[in-house]
Structure 1
Amino acid sequence: METSEIRRRFLQYFEDRGHTVVPSAPLPSPDPNLLFNVAGMAQFVPYFVGQQTPPYPRATSVQKCVRTLDIDEVGKTTRHGTFFQMNGNFSFGDYFKEKAIEYAWELVTKPQNEGGYGFDESVLYASVYYEDDEAIDLWKRVAGLPDDRIVRLGMKDNFWSMGIPGPCGPCSEILIDRGPEFGADRDWEAGDRYLEFWNLVFMQNIRGEGGGKEGYPILGELPKKNIDTGLGLERVAYLLQGVDNMYEIDEIYPVIEKASELTGRKYGSEHDDDVRFRVVADHVRSALMLIGDGVTPGNEQGGYVLRRLLRRAIRSMRLLGYEDPSLVELLPVSLEQMKKSYPELVTDFGRISQVAYAEEEAFRRTLTAGTTIFDVAVRDTKASGAHQLEGAKAFQLHDTYGFPIDLTVEMAAEQGLNVDTEGFKSLMKEQRERAKADARAKKAGHADTSGYRELREKGVTEFTGYQELATDSQVRGLLRDGAVAPFAEQGETVEVVLEKTPFYAESGGQIADEGLIVGDGLKLNVLDVQRPVKGLIVHRVEILEGVLRPGTDVHAEVDHDWRISACQAHSGTHVVHAALRQVLGPNALQSGSYNKPGYLRLDFAWSSALDPATRSEIEEVANLAVRKDLPVSAQYMTLPEARDWGALALFGETYDEQVRVVEIGGPWSRELCGGTHVKHSSQVGALTVTGESSVGAGVRRIEAFVGMEALHYLGKERALVRLLSENLKTRPEELPAKVADLAERLRAAEKELERVRAAQVLQAAAELANSPKDVFGVQYVGHRAPDGVNGGDLRKLALDVRGRMGNDKPVVVAMLSVNDGKPGVVVALNDTAREWRLKAGDLVRIAAEKLGGRGGGKDDVAQGGGTDPAGADDALSAVEHAIGHQVTG
């Protein structure tokens, strides 16, 4: 039975039994503690914990999931995978244990020709929480299982919770006995013979504080008991398809077959190759699904995971002997299998493939440059007798060549080396501390949402900002540090919830409104507006006057100029997006945006930089749309209706069943959007594109100003052109040629200066070679060159002096200069000095330590540097002392 058919039967079975079929939530998780959804119940958590009222009493879904903790284990075992699908049926206070067991047993054992999975009842077992006698009785009565096929397990194995105080309950699993070839009889721990493939969670209790999977107190029962089940789709697939593991099911194995065809290696013949084949198949499928949900390769969070998956797949193909680009061969194979369950992948494959292929191209360049550096580092490490690659070298590979630390560790292990990961982490920490703090850190909010939930229980905040900028309202409540407070006074900054508000809460790329909330003796400056809990709008305010209390009547008013400019920017974003698609084609889809009054930026799928002519064309198309005074309208409809209508959705966003579609000029621009907009496109005003750049493989960013900000920007450019024209005494239209001529003349002058300076430095070589210092028989030249001599010229000088001194006696030449405030040092030895067992690399490291840095190189010539110019004289003296110590020692 194909995986897509297993999926279809599951959803059909539960839909026929009154369950609402809910589409999978996107892979990126809205939970700040998670990168991706890892369980089928993820999107239903607000219903289980009481944050929201479920819109249906029972539901079913097939949730896309990505597990990131086991990436290193993928391929090494046959049980670890990255992307997987979790079939689930859920009840929110409707049915409970008996129905859950009845549904599961019927679907699992029902003959295939009657719509079930047709498992042989004689090899099925049930595990239960050891104290759950009710579940045991139900398995006997509903499924007819005898005592010897019901297994009692402890809290660690068969009791579920979210790991924090809240809902919890006993579990019951359906297991299948795969036979003695997979393990010993009644061995429940191994997990290979008695394979669990469906877990039924009976959410009936409330737990208290405590860590781990057991040992926390059970405080009582939930007022409404819920059902949360999860059937592993891939596990059922390999059980029904008669293969041994998930890598050999129909959705994954064709990629292995294609990889085998490309590499000429046979799957199943050699363990290391099999691991690589499985890595390729799993990671290609995972990348397909992640990019499909809007994730793009990057150096942070989910983007880093995707980049790592793609690079592991690419490198595994190279280790299998395939040097050409591989994703262009493999990704379409994965698409062919996954489109049966996810047809949207077909329509979006242009964008998906563009992102993936661009990342492979970038990584191939990285491999070429970085592998050379890595090989040198491995050779030097082994030559020194060490067994650990320096953390600094791993950091260089990461920071300069884009090598993920995981790849460096992996490659080092293949060479029999460890990596100083602690040293690497320390350098990464230093880099992060130097980097600019995340501008959005203030949006992180409070981990504890109980205060918000308490206010949300009093009702939904009505948003009036689409129709008006000022609203009479009442304070529903206020929070201080995330906790509900009875009052707040002048000078405090707190959070306020109103009955209704015209203030737009930050979302969809649009920042929050600014303005004032006033009342009798009360004045609040609105600093920020967020939606920490669905249905609740929270204002962060500074109390300028008075005392704030719940129940106070207030007048809330958005800053008029702020909102007008914000509307111009948001509508301008839609206009630029439509212009991009008109000029570049339908694959130039938005993958993220940000807009504030007068400014917008839009990230879109595209693999190459836009030339000036293309940028100008996009700007012209956008401004023509503005000039046409196109009508801007918004209407509500169901999500399927919006998709049928051609409305574009932002990748990775989760939408309600009812969505708002904003239309500009009819079908020219239709997007799902909750933001505020102008009434006609002409109100966007002037629109000028100010920049276009890369923000990751296959993703570009375009920036623009609109309205008065655009006019101000153009005014500044006009003033700059006028100033340059006056200074260069030329007409504006002749400026490009004039500046190009000046730049060329400047380059020629710099080259001549470089030549003269190098000649002056090298002129000193003869004098230095004729006046060495004798250090216990070694002819030593230690010289501080004039400041400003670069490393290349310093090296030339050292080699020239060494060459003039011949090989009759041992010669050590140490040259040092300070360039741009940073000291550099070069040490060169002749053959005779090396016969005396002197090494340039050892000597340069001694010098570099005095300079507050490090160095290294070969035995005959080595180079280093530091950050402390004050140590220059000490560095040359240290080399001299080291020579004497080594010669006399």
Structure 2
Amino acid sequence: MKTAEIASRFLDFFEKRGHTIVPSASLVTDDPALLFTVAGMVPFIPYLSGDVPPPYPRAADVQKCIRTNDIEEVGKTPRHGTFFQMLGNWSFGDYFKADAIRYAWELLTTAESEGGLGFDPKDLWVTVYKDDDEAAALWSEIAKLPEERIQRLDKDTNYWSTGLPGPAGPCSEIFFDQGPAYGVDGGPATDDDRYVEIWNLVFMQYEISNVTSKYDFDIVGELPNKNIDTGMGLERIAFIKQGVQNMYETDQVRPVLDLAAELSGKTYGANHEDDVRMRIIADHVRSSLMLLADGVTPSNEGRGYILRRIMRRTIRSMRLLGVDGPTFPTLFAASRDAMAEAYPVVADDWERISQYAFAEERTFLRTLAAGSVILETAVAETRQSGGESIGGEQAFLLHDTYGFPIDLTLEAAEEAGLTVDRAAFDQLMQEQRTRAKADARARKRQLADTSIYREFRSLGETVFTGYTELEAESTVLGIIVDGVSVDRASAGQIAEIIVAETALYAESGGQVADKGIIVGPGYELEVLDVQKPVVGLISHTVAVTSGEVAVGLAASTIVDAANRRSARQAHSATHLVHAAIRDTLGRSATQTGSLNRAGYMRFDFNWGSALSPETRTEIEEIANNAVRDNLEVTTRVMSLDEATSLGAMALFGEKYGSEVRMVDIGGPWSRELCGGTHVSSSAEIGIINLVGESSVGASNRRVEALVGQDAFRELAAERAIVSQLTSSLKIPRDQLPARIADLAASLRAAEKKIAAFEARALADRAPALAETAVAVGPHRLVTASIGVAGSGDDVRTLALQVRERLGSAPAVVALGADVGGRPVVIVATNEAARTAGAKAGVLAKAAAAALGGGGGGRDDVAQGGGPDVSVLPAGLAAVRSTLERSAS
């Protein structure tokens, strides 16, 4: 039974039982405490928590998920994957335990010929929470399971909570027994791999508080509406139904595994370590494909960092299998073909997906080449110093800064007959993980709790009237101060205000929030920000400038008209620039992000190289031609399917409801899904002036523009500058570029002459400096401050010249200088001094310590520095005292 068929049977089963079939949400969640959709429940959290009224009483879905907390286990166990799919059925205050258990048992044990999954009841076990007598009795009654196959377990396995105050409840898990060949008898309580968990039924029935951990809390009462939240692992069902050993051998994953074996010349099943690598490749390629399909792009932070990490783990695993060249064009195409039946977007959007994937592979292969050079240097220095181990700090630097995997560092060190200080490396890694976890916990504490808005959202959605009016009359529904719901706020306080209707736009879709005021009887509020803390609710952060605002009072939301006008111009300009970019570069140059505020817009899009000046001019001209042509701007509300069938473009990672707002500028030329505010015709935009183009990551570019009056001011300022230059240089405007180029060339030539003169002047000081040498033990030592120098290289050159003049006897030279306002000390030693124990790197570190900075280098030449030039004499003195101690 194919994976897609299992999903289809699941959805058909629940649709026939009155469930609304909900499409999978994006892997990119809008939950601020999460980077990704890590579980099937994530899109339903607002409904399960009661923050948002559910749009249906019962639902079913197949949800895409990404989870990387167990990434090191991928490939080693039968069922750990970074990308997985959860089959779920949900009840929001509708049915409860009995029906949830009945539905699960019926679907699992109904024959395949009758639409079920065809499991033999004798192969199924269940667990319940130890105190949940009701669930145990229902399993006995409905499934006729004997008592020994209903096992009671503790909170750590059979109780669900988020680890925060709110809903919680016991759960019941269903396991498949793979048989005696896979382990010991005794059921899931043995925690043996023989028993595979396939379905978890969560009975969300209690409210908890005083939460000190995920399993330590107080139950304060029952929820007014009891919910059902279930999750069945699609990949786990698939590997059981397909008769294979693990999820990596199922039909959606195996093609990539087989290709990895073919490309490497390895045989799957012949070697355990190679098998693990092939399974990692199969899993990670699919995960990368699905993340790219949902708009995530490789980067060095956030979601992009996770994607980059799993893509680079893939490349590393191929390398460890003996394949050094590019493989993504083959591997990703195979994954695309395997996943396209379930997710057609991976084929429809292949041009964009492949562009990012292939560029990332090329980049990392270059990184590996560069890292290899750095590693070879570390190996050589370790050997030269007589060491046997590469330092953990060096290994961590390679890993953290250059992206060079520790596995390859270990492999290269072993080939060179060396080891790596793995304990030190692991300690640094652990410190980094600890910092990351602390940051994540802080983010979760700060952002995850939206329960304060629950009572306000239950009153209905906030009505936004700002598309057609700049003022709206309403009533104050709620006031929040310092995270607490209060009934009033007074002058001088900062508060959040909830009203029933508002004309003020809440930040979303790249458009920043409106400016404005809220006024009512006896009070006035300055609007500082407008946000949507939960779906359907608008909250205004305000400063109470006068009077006292209270719940129940009338409120008028008033938009700053001039600011809104400029914001509308900028947002509509963004749509024109997007269309112009696609006209110029092609359909693959799609939006990855934007920001619009009054008079300014920026637009991010996927593209692999910088735009030429000619291309920028062409994009700017196309956009301004659209302004000149006074194109009509129209908005229509329709179903998502209708909008996409008309060719409307959607932003990756953005969530859209069943109804969407489509914005046309000039008909289909610019047609996008957008909830922002816009001009009524393109001529209202005025002028679009592209002022910048830059890189914002691999295969990602950004253009920035000023719009309307701000664009005019910028052009007027440039005109004034040109006028000043033509007047000062007494030439026509069209000769300015050539004249400025001539002046710049003359300046560079003069700077070179000055640098050469300064270098000769420094070299002329070498004989006199050599004469100042004093005896320190067996060494002749020169220490001197040479004043201001153009660069550290100039000081280094002089130190080497002085060292040469001191002959073959042990000699040490330490010269200090002011380089750009910071102290620099260069230490140089000859071979005789090094034999006698004087190492330039050690002496430079001593100087750096005195200077309050850092330093080091080779044994023959090294450098130290710091922030304060006034302590330069102390740095030179530290060189002498360190040398004296080594000589005594």
1:56 counterpart residue number: 56
- C-alpha separation in 2, matches of 1:795 and 1:135: 79
- C-alpha separation in 1, matches of 2:23 and 2:245: 30
**The 10-residue stretch of structure 1 (285-294 or 458-467) with the greater mean CA deviation from structure 2:** 458-467
Amino acid at match of 1:517: I
Pairing of 1:355-374 with structure 2 (within 5 A): 355-374=356-375
> Does 2:2 match 1:2?
yes
Amino acid at match of 1:617: E
Q: CA offset at residue 445 of structure 1?
A: 7.7
**The 10-residue stretch of structure 1 (598-607 or 511-520) with the greater mean CA deviation from structure 2:** 511-520
1:700 counterpart residue number: 701
Percent identity for Structure 1 against Structure 2: 52
Q: CA offset at residue 789 of structure 1?
A: 4.4
Amino acid at match of 2:128: V
Q: CA offset at residue 300 of structure 1?
A: 2.0
Change (3 A) 1:408 1:69: farther
Pairing of 1:542-561 with structure 2 (within 5 A): 542-561=543-562
TM-score by length of 1: 0.93
Pairing of 1:469-868 with structure 2 (within 5 A): 469-807=470-808, 809-868=809-868
Change (3 A) 1:741 1:404: farther
Can you list the C-alpha shifts for 1:795-816, whole angstroms capped at 9, x where unaligned? 2222222223332x22222222
- C-alpha separation in 2, matches of 1:89 and 1:304: 32
Can you list the C-alpha shifts for 1:585-627, whole angstroms capped at 9, x where unaligned? 1111111111011111111111111111111111111111112
Amino acid at match of 1:122: K
Change (3 A) 1:552 1:691: same
CA contact (8 A) 2:33 2:447 kept: no
Q: CA offset at residue 693 of structure 1?
A: 1.0
2:341 counterpart residue number: 340
Change (3 A) 1:585 1:419: farther
Pairing of 1:198-597 with structure 2 (within 5 A): 198-377=199-378, 380=381, 383=385, 389=391, 391=393, 394=396, 398=400, 401=402, 415-419=420-424, 447-597=448-598
2:130 counterpart residue number: 130
Change (3 A) 1:526 1:119: same
CA contact (8 A) 2:105 2:143 kept: yes
- C-alpha separation in 1, matches of 2:544 and 2:791: 58
Q: CA offset at residue 510 of structure 1?
A: 0.7
Change (3 A) 1:89 1:412: farther
- C-alpha separation in 2, matches of 1:294 and 1:660: 21
CA contact (8 A) 1:761 1:797 kept: yes
CA contact (8 A) 2:389 2:420 kept: no
Secondary structure at 1:517 match in 2: strand
Secondary structure at 1:297 match in 2: coil
1:434 counterpart residue number: none
- C-alpha separation in 1, matches of 2:589 and 2:507: 25
Q: CA offset at residue 881 of structure 1?
A: 3.0
Q: CA offset at residue 834 of structure 1?
A: 2.5
CA contact (8 A) 2:825 2:876 kept: no
> Does 2:167 match 1:150?
no
- C-alpha separation in 1, matches of 2:421 and 2:113: 55
Amino acid at match of 1:54: P
Change (3 A) 1:155 1:427: closer
CA contact (8 A) 1:388 1:417 kept: no
- C-alpha separation in 2, matches of 1:228 and 1:424: 36
CA contact (8 A) 2:203 2:229 kept: yes
Change (3 A) 1:757 1:427: farther
CA contact (8 A) 1:93 1:226 kept: yes
Amino acid at match of 1:819: V
Amino acid at match of 2:91: S
- C-alpha separation in 2, matches of 1:302 and 1:191: 34
- Aligned Cα root-mean-square deviation (Å): 2.8
- C-alpha separation in 1, matches of 2:209 and 2:90: 24
CA contact (8 A) 1:46 1:52 kept: yes
Change (3 A) 1:191 1:564: farther
- C-alpha separation in 1, matches of 2:89 and 2:245: 27
Change (3 A) 1:169 1:882: closer
- C-alpha separation in 1, matches of 2:186 and 2:765: 86
**The 10-residue stretch of structure 1 (600-609 or 770-779) with the greater mean CA deviation from structure 2:** 770-779
Amino acid at match of 2:871: G
**The 10-residue stretch of structure 1 (406-415 or 369-378) with the greater mean CA deviation from structure 2:** 406-415
- C-alpha separation in 2, matches of 1:107 and 1:836: 82
CA contact (8 A) 1:109 1:117 kept: yes
Can you list the C-alpha shifts for 1:215-261, whole angstroms capped at 9, x where unaligned? 43333322322211110011111111222112222222221222222
CA contact (8 A) 2:516 2:558 kept: yes
Amino acid at match of 2:760: A
Amino acid at match of 2:167: P
Change (3 A) 1:79 1:71: same
CA contact (8 A) 1:387 1:418 kept: no
Secondary structure at 2:217 match in 1: coil
Change (3 A) 1:419 1:214: same
**The 10-residue stretch of structure 1 (390-399 or 652-661) with the greater mean CA deviation from structure 2:** 390-399
Q: CA offset at residue 183 of structure 1?
A: 1.6
> Does 2:39 match 1:31?
no
- C-alpha separation in 1, matches of 2:435 and 2:756: 39
- C-alpha separation in 2, matches of 1:755 and 1:343: 65
Secondary structure at 1:529 match in 2: strand
Amino acid at match of 1:96: F
Unaligned runs of 5+ in 1: 432-436
Secondary structure at 1:217 match in 2: strand
**The 10-residue stretch of structure 1 (386-395 or 74-83) with the greater mean CA deviation from structure 2:** 386-395
Can you list the C-alpha shifts for 1:70-111, whole angstroms capped at 9, x where unaligned? 223323444322111111011112222222222212222222
**The 10-residue stretch of structure 1 (123-132 or 647-656) with the greater mean CA deviation from structure 2:** 123-132
Q: CA offset at residue 712 of structure 1?
A: 1.0
CA contact (8 A) 2:175 2:195 kept: yes
Secondary structure at 1:38 match in 2: coil
2:97 counterpart residue number: 97
Amino acid at match of 2:113: N
Amino acid at match of 2:60: T
Q: CA offset at residue 282 of structure 1?
A: 1.7
Change (3 A) 1:427 1:395: farther
Secondary structure at 2:489 match in 1: coil
CA contact (8 A) 2:532 2:538 kept: yes
TM-score by length of 2: 0.93
CA contact (8 A) 1:391 1:424 kept: no
Q: CA offset at residue 526 of structure 1?
A: 1.6
- C-alpha separation in 1, matches of 2:271 and 2:852: 50
Q: CA offset at residue 408 of structure 1?
A: 8.1
Q: CA offset at residue 665 of structure 1?
A: 1.4
**The 10-residue stretch of structure 1 (239-248 or 76-85) with the greater mean CA deviation from structure 2:** 76-85
Can you list the C-alpha shifts for 1:525-568, whole angstroms capped at 9, x where unaligned? 22211111222222122222222122222332211111111111
Change (3 A) 1:512 1:883: closer
Amino acid at match of 1:300: E
Change (3 A) 1:684 1:411: farther
Change (3 A) 1:406 1:485: farther
Change (3 A) 1:802 1:428: farther
Change (3 A) 1:415 1:283: farther
Q: CA offset at residue 375 of structure 1?
A: 4.3
Secondary structure at 1:208 match in 2: strand
Q: CA offset at residue 342 of structure 1?
A: 0.3
